[in-house]
Structure 1
Amino acid sequence: MLRFVNESFLKVSNKELVHINIHISRNNLFFNKRIIRRVDNIIRVDIDRLSYYISGYRVNKLLSFVNFNKRIHTLRLEEMVTLTFTGISDNPNIVEEEERILKYWEDIDAFNLSNELSKNKKPYIFYDGPPFATGLPHYGHLLAGIIKDCVTRYFYQSNFYVERRFGWDCHGLPVEYEIEKENNINKREDILNMGIDVYNEKCRGIVLKYSKEWVATVQRIGRWIDFKNDYKTMDKSFMESVWWVFSELYKNNYIYKSFKVMPYSCKCNTPISNFELNLNYKDTPDPSIIISFILCSDFPKVKNVYNIQDDIQPLVQKYSVLYDCYMKSEKCDTSNEKHADEDIYSDHINVNKNNNKNNNSNNNNNNNTNCNDNNNINLNYNNNCYAQHCEVFAWTTTPWTLPSNLALCVNEHFIYLRVYHIESQRMFIFAECRLEWIMKELKWNVENIKIVNRFLGSELKELKYKPLFTNFYEKHNFKERAYKIIADDFVSDDAGTDWNGYFTNEVEELKDMYIKDADNVIKKKLKENNRLMSNNTIVHSYPFCWRSDTPLIYRAIPAWFVRVSNSTNKLVENNETTYWIPAHVKEKKFHNWIKDAKDWCISRNRYWGTPIPIWCDEKMETVICVESIKHLEELSGIKNINDLHRHYIDNIEIKNPKGDTYPKLKRIPEVFDCWFESGSMPYAKVHYPFSTETNDFHKIFPADFIAEGLDQTRGWFYTLLVISTLLFNKAPFKNLICNGLVLASDGKKMIAVRAENLKFQEKGVNEIVKSFILPYYHSFRFFSQEVTRYETTNKMQFLFNTDYIYKNDNIMDQWIFSSLQNDKYIIKYEFIELIEHMKDVILLGRNLREKRKTPNKKPLKSLTILHKNESFFKHFDRISNYIKEELNILNVEYSNDISCLNFSAIPNFKKLGVKLGYNIKNIQNKIKNMNAEDIKLFQQNKQIIIDNILLEQDDIIIQMNHNIQNDNTEAISNNYITILMDFTADQQLENMASAREICNHIQKIRKNLSLNQNSPVLMHIYIYDQTFKNHMLNENEYIKKCLRRNLNIIDLEKDVQNLTDKFFEEKITVNEKEVLVIFTNQ
């Protein structure tokens, strides 16, 4: 059986081959051509072949046929102009279309052709940050790449020449780590045994291997980028420019060598920089132990801290029984002539000589110190021998550091307590703010402890203590220089190894043991010596190596630094000249980072990287910084240096300028941090200053645009700015887009080094197609249908006229162009604001419908918008029809009568939290208690002063509430408007609802039949109930408006039988009434 589906194909229910005869009545021509194709029982007319045979004609009407047994069927053609759009599918195959476009671009060499066409135009400078070529592109790379492609395409299409060179970050830990995994390299000795030359060439090989994969993937996503003219950080020209950058910094005294405690990766055998440290913090379980250090020094005569305000502190109130005696003593005598420890605890500690000896032998057999005889120990402060009973608490999550401990650190501004524990008869010192935590950790009862002294941390400075381990006690004069308390502000109130992280021979009992494996051995030793007070586990944030994903340690190591801390003001100033999207990343995250920037460690104890061009003697008395290959050839006498990697230049020696009798200078073993290389890319990618003249360079510097992910705020963005500021005192870019991170379906960051390349759900991809791509496609399809309707109706070609578009007065079109900020269109900000108001009204209206459980297909009588200012409603008449249509409302009214509203104020905690911090607690209730007059003044002046604090418009949220009592009226407000919706039901609204339901049924039928707006069909309904039929006849105009075409309401049932060319009919039920729907051919 054959039946009509639409103007471009026929549908068959059997599998017979169908021939189509084409008859053109005007010229009496007859064709019998096989110009159809068969796909899944669909017989499709080949419109292209039709146009080949019949120029100027199209299939406009397809007839249903009476004789279904014949294989010959007739199609009638009408003369008309060639259509602008043909074959726009209802269900496009996005993937096929994408691949077709990519193939077309390849065939015409579109990217290179575009560059050739624009080469004489004004340049738009773009820098592409070099990714690590250690694997397939990650989703984060693809997102940033798409953003870059969008912006650079836009400027190319805006009459600019945009050079788009791809770059590769070929050096450093990412590449080396991959090689070490492949070759089972676990220690630096393995690399040395292999040979640096072999190791480096393996690194070079993996870079070239993955670059090919990158090309395929980047081209597949449709990004236009120049791979043939790419730059690589391992190229000799690039490395030479990096040498020049370093030499310029060296000449200007920005480079120095120092021995510092640095974050260190045991797996990668190298220190890392301070900003790399922040790239990979993770929540991880670690030991949480409290240990006690026995004081050897006499406990000093401290100035007890007391303030009347202490009585109301939460800590003091909660543990008042501990503070009670101490407070009473201080209130009575604050001169410190009398001391709390003289009398207050005499009932607890009144120990005679014999008892004291017993206690020392039984309870504190490990507390032997260098103090004097302690026969008459009591809590008399003037008896300095009591020092042996003072122990200082310390907390750590890294027990493996304790064998090499050389000092304790306190914060001199914190308040510390000296507390006596009655049961163990031991005296402990710790920060007051940790009192509650310590009591929980050690399971102390309040009755068992008493506070002896309350003093500042500065009182503890220079006190000596007994070392936990004696491995270093007699070495390097540590006995005299170390094992004492120092003070520094880095102490907060919260929470020696070899290159590979293994203990050396100096700690005999832990020799050759990995640091984390030694934790339990160390804790056992502490417990035996009665120094382990608590042993628990904590989950805390700890830095991991950003590449090997192993825990970092802090290790004292010599390294080379760029002096950044002296130039933070310049960094901030140059950053202010740049434009960022989003702005808050620049103003908050990046600004806060650079204003406190630390000196940058740029040396790595590695192999595959650009060698640092420093040649020196063994004692660093003679140092030469080499700035170029030519410079090195002149100094060494070696010609034709073709590679600058370590295995090519490490053996090159330079004659000592002091004379032949002095030893020759050798290169230091370190290589550059790969971030230093990527930060040098504006200069190195053009081989500046060797192959690019200064005048030419400044035509391409700084960049007009760069883009990368959020993690580059402490990576590439930072290194670019630092080097550019120190070299030229200017920002290296003008505009920057910083995209967010691509997260897996579980909300966690996908890490490329863990090969997490496919942790997403396909339904998310389908949702993107559904919510983003298809709306654009169907908007185009709708446009093409309207063009076809115009052309078939008017028998004339549609001509696209951009001038007319910009001149039209349609409010929605004006809003679109204003929102796009098209430079050919005068931006009308009032329309942007107006449409935002309209969107707010529609959202509020939908919320009210949802609240009343009233579907949008049911019309409502009226909606009233309330605002205090009448001027607010200017131009609202231009959007009222859109509000009516979206909310299915008959009337929209406006009013500035707000007598039915009352107002209240609440703090904007998000803003005030940043502004006031802890002090927000003192002001939030006063904001909530603002009266109507206060709120009115605040709304007028957009500011108010409360408790001498200036609060501005964004600091306070004004809420509106209504007092309407009408059951048929619902109201809702946001922070500036209120809408009232009338839900009163009447017959007219019921009729309109029924008419709309009929329209919905018909539209679904049309969709199921694959009919579009231009399909040549007629639609009819027959309503069996006469009263209902009369109501629908009254709503015929409303139905016509919904369907955008006529609907024939048949009067008599016999007329249904007289309809010809019927090809579809179906009974539906609307408002419990039967309705027959009939479709016929036109």
Structure 2
Amino acid sequence: MRYPELPESLLRLEEGLLDTWREEDLFRKTLEATAHGKPFVFYEGPPTANGKPGLHHIISRTLKDLVCRHQTMKGRSVTRIAGWDTHGLPVEIEAERKLGISGKPGIEELGIERFNEVCRESVFTYKEDWEKLSERIGYWLDYSRPYVTYHTEYIESVWWILKELAGRGLLYRGFKSVPYCPRCGTALSSHEVAQGYKDIEDASLFFLCPLLEESGELDVEGRAFLAWTTTPWTAPSNTGLAIHPDLRYVEAAASGRRVILAEALAEKVLGDGVEILRRYSADELAGRRYLRPPDLVPAPEEAGNSWSVVLEDFVSAEEGTGIVHMAPAFGSDDYTAGQRHQLAMLRPVDDRGRFLEDIPVVGGLFVKDADSLLIEELRKRGNLHSSATTVHSYPHCWRCESPLIYMARDSWFAATTTLKEEMLRENRKIRWLPPEVGEKRFGEWLENNVDWALSRDRYWGTPLPAWVCEEEEGHVVWVGGLEELGELAGGLPDGFDPHRPFIDGITIPCPSCDGTMRRTPGVVDVWFDSGAMPFAQWHYPFENSEEFEKHFPADFICQAIDQTRGWFYSLLAISTMLGRGTPFRAAMVNGHILDEAGQKMSKSRGNAVDP
């Protein structure tokens, strides 16, 4: 009996097997052989092909193929449609590098049309690398008809979804404090923010807000509230102090001053044996007014209840002083409390994250660079208690890694909080592997869900299909497809590209008045693009309705654990908002490969290893 010769190495053995599969067209034959089998629907999470694949992509792709191949061997007809994520900041940042520009001013000087042309050219830079990696590791995907998020058909389905959500009362325009990237010049959603936290060293500032008498004169006893913040740059925008209604507060002697803070934190902040002079209930302090710590920003004529003490449940006795400094223009809780208590909103910062030029002391500076100057200004005014540095977790842009700031901005939102219970209920129907991911990490994320900030002040993305009247901004028309837009606008050019800047020039008459409607300038969060794939990969509902219904929901999806706050969430949120329930029955979640510094590997960090 003769045996074949041993291969030179395991590498040669694998390469020979791949050659055989390629010659036999084995993947295609398995699809044909199981075409009439019981369907097993798999959704592929779309990678961004303008960045190279890394070693960290192999884990989830191996797990995906393991499950899908097992189902194929059982005779199931397995859906393995490939997909490409082609919009958003990952593509824009790469285009900026290629063009040698940085930020929105450079893009707008170049022109949106040329910039988006470079974005389009770059989206498939490493497409062959991804396809070769898939073949090399034996991961079978059908690349013959992939879904591509920048294709007109895909965009049209996303528009349809948005119009459906608007019709259900789930979309609204709001002026809210949102996480904002000054470098990219756009707001981010909560699930994007969750992917970009870093431990950094920041200033830890304890500062004084002197009490005022009802007459407006300084308190005759020289008392002052002691507040704490790790964002000294927000001190010029302070318009309120928050205390907890159930906490006890004390007046204590400190460095020749009489300061007020939470009793539970007095010794931690002022030291053991601190002298307590008086005790207060929260109700006794609520409504008291105080002197602005640094009055660098002009006060508005209508200041409401600004520079007064208010009661809020979000105040904690775990850290700080039990007195929260509030700048409603630069914090989510601050903004909500400011609206509730009629506190002025001072926003002396431009879209680049720099103080306005006419602001004393810090004019023209990037906010994070102004901390030391503001601390010194408080010292000069006698309102500095102490300052040090502290290491804490701070949000950064998930793509450009710039520090984010929370800033009040005009944005479009999806009211996902109104469907929290529905999403929690649908989550309980999903088989999570491992189970604790669904119960803990994903379930807790849903419990703390906030409304989804949908709009991005950027260029290369699915345009928001909302047309707003120039005469009355309350008149809004959501457009659900190109045919509908053509009818409203009196026709569209042949082969119309719905991207910016072409879509920006399309106007429609307002159906509610004699005004002209123009499209709101934003584009859609790229995570909405990818979360729409169960519908948009079929150009649903414009065609392939039967195919869509056969492939919804998925039997199986698989991604790394960070997607619990990314693709997994956007899939579930969109489907639930459309009233379709969970879009996947089972989700397998893998961990991350870390580099030598213990950081997860990613393209944006530049620490990925070429497989």
Would the TM-score normalized by the shorter structure come out above 0.5? yes
Residue 269 of structure 2, aligned match among 426, 438, 441: 438
C-alpha distance 524-723 of structure 1, shift in aligned 2 (>3 A): same
Contact 1:744-1:759 within 8 A present in 2 as well: no
Higher RCO (C-alpha under 8 Å, 6+ residues apart): 2
What is the one-letter code of the residue matched to 2:209?
F
In structure 1, the residue matched to 2:293 is 468
In structure 2, the residue matched to 1:48 is none
Measure the CA separation in 1 of the matches of 2:205 and 2:21.
64
Q: Deviations over 1:1004-1048 (max 9, x none)?
A: xxxxxxxxxxxxxxxxxxxxxxxxxxxxxxxxxxxxxxxxxxxxx
In structure 2, the residue matched to 1:638 is 491
In structure 1, the residue matched to 2:566 is 715
Q: Secondary structure at the match of 1:665?
A: strand
Contact 2:361-2:374 within 8 A present in 1 as well: no
Measure the CA separation in 2 of the matches of 1:226 and 1:460.
67
Measure the CA separation in 2 of the matches of 1:655 and 1:259.
26
Q: Are 2:77 and 1:145 aligned?
A: no
In structure 2, the residue matched to 1:265 is 181
Measure the CA separation in 1 of the matches of 2:128 and 2:5.
38
State the Cα distance separating 1:88 from its structure 2 match.
5.4
Contact 2:206-2:384 within 8 A present in 1 as well: yes
Measure the CA separation in 2 of the matches of 1:600 and 1:271.
11
Q: Are 2:395 and 1:565 aligned?
A: no
Contact 2:454-2:525 within 8 A present in 1 as well: yes
In structure 1, the residue matched to 2:542 is 690
Q: Are 2:482 and 1:482 aligned?
A: no
What is the one-letter code of the residue matched to 1:702?
P
C-alpha distance 162-759 of structure 1, shift in aligned 2 (>3 A): closer
Q: Are 2:259 and 1:428 aligned?
A: yes
Q: Deviations over 1:503-555 (max 9, x none)?
A: 11352432221111111211111111111111211111111111111211110
In structure 2, the residue matched to 1:408 is 241
What is the one-letter code of the residue matched to 1:623?
V
Q: Deviations over 1:701-735 (max 9, x none)?
A: 00011100100111111111111111134110111
In structure 1, the residue matched to 2:605 is 754
What is the one-letter code of the residue matched to 1:718?
Y
Contact 1:467-1:473 within 8 A present in 2 as well: no
C-alpha distance 517-183 of structure 1, shift in aligned 2 (>3 A): farther
In structure 2, the residue matched to 1:652 is 506
Measure the CA separation in 2 of the matches of 1:417 and 1:197.
61
State the Cα distance separating 1:665 from its structure 2 match.
0.4
Q: Are 2:70 and 1:217 aligned?
A: no
Aligned residues: 581
Judging by fraction of residues, say which structure has more helix: 1
Contact 1:629-1:641 within 8 A present in 2 as well: no
Measure the CA separation in 2 of the matches of 1:414 and 1:547.
41
Contact 2:294-2:378 within 8 A present in 1 as well: no
Measure the CA separation in 2 of the matches of 1:603 and 1:630.
23
State the Cα distance separating 1:234 from its structure 2 match.
0.5
Measure the CA separation in 2 of the matches of 1:126 and 1:292.
59
State the Cα distance separating 1:291 from its structure 2 match.
0.7
In structure 2, the residue matched to 1:284 is 200
- Aligned pairs (5 A) from 1:453-464: 453-464=278-289
Measure the CA separation in 1 of the matches of 2:415 and 2:54.
34
Q: Secondary structure at the match of 2:507?
A: coil
What is the one-letter code of the residue matched to 1:679?
G
Q: Secondary structure at the match of 2:438?
A: helix
Measure the CA separation in 2 of the matches of 1:277 and 1:701.
29
Q: C-alpha root-mean-square deviation of aligned residues, in Å?
A: 2.0
In structure 1, the residue matched to 2:575 is 724
Q: Secondary structure at the match of 2:45?
A: coil
State the Cα distance separating 1:746 from its structure 2 match.
4.1
Contact 1:742-1:750 within 8 A present in 2 as well: yes
In structure 1, the residue matched to 2:365 is 513
Measure the CA separation in 2 of the matches of 1:621 and 1:111.
54
Task: State TM-score, norm by structure 2.
Answer: 0.91
Q: Secondary structure at the match of 1:145?
A: helix
State the Cα distance separating 1:201 from its structure 2 match.
1.1
Measure the CA separation in 2 of the matches of 1:604 and 1:297.
46
In structure 2, the residue matched to 1:419 is 252
Contact 2:55-2:610 within 8 A present in 1 as well: no
What is the one-letter code of the residue matched to 2:57?
H
In structure 2, the residue matched to 1:394 is 227
In structure 2, the residue matched to 1:744 is 595
In structure 2, the residue matched to 1:622 is 475
In structure 2, the residue matched to 1:580 is 432
Residue 527 of structure 2, aligned match among 675, 679, 682: 675
State the Cα distance separating 1:740 from its structure 2 match.
1.0
Q: Are 2:20 and 1:104 aligned?
A: yes
Measure the CA separation in 2 of the matches of 1:697 and 1:103.
34
Q: Deviations over 1:120-154 (max 9, x none)?
A: 32221110011222311133322111111111111
In structure 1, the residue matched to 2:217 is 371
Measure the CA separation in 2 of the matches of 1:500 and 1:555.
11
What is the one-letter code of the residue matched to 2:262?
A
**Taking every aligned residue pair, what percent have the same amino acid on both sides?**
36
State the Cα distance separating 1:181 from its structure 2 match.
3.2
Task: State TM-score, norm by structure 1.
Answer: 0.52
Higher alpha-carbon Rg: 1
What is the one-letter code of the residue matched to 2:417?
S
Q: Secondary structure at the match of 1:540?
A: strand
Structure 2 runs not aligned, ≥5 long: 320-346
Structure 1 runs not aligned, ≥5 long: 1-81, 299-368, 373-384, 761-1082
- Aligned pairs (5 A) from 1:332-343: none
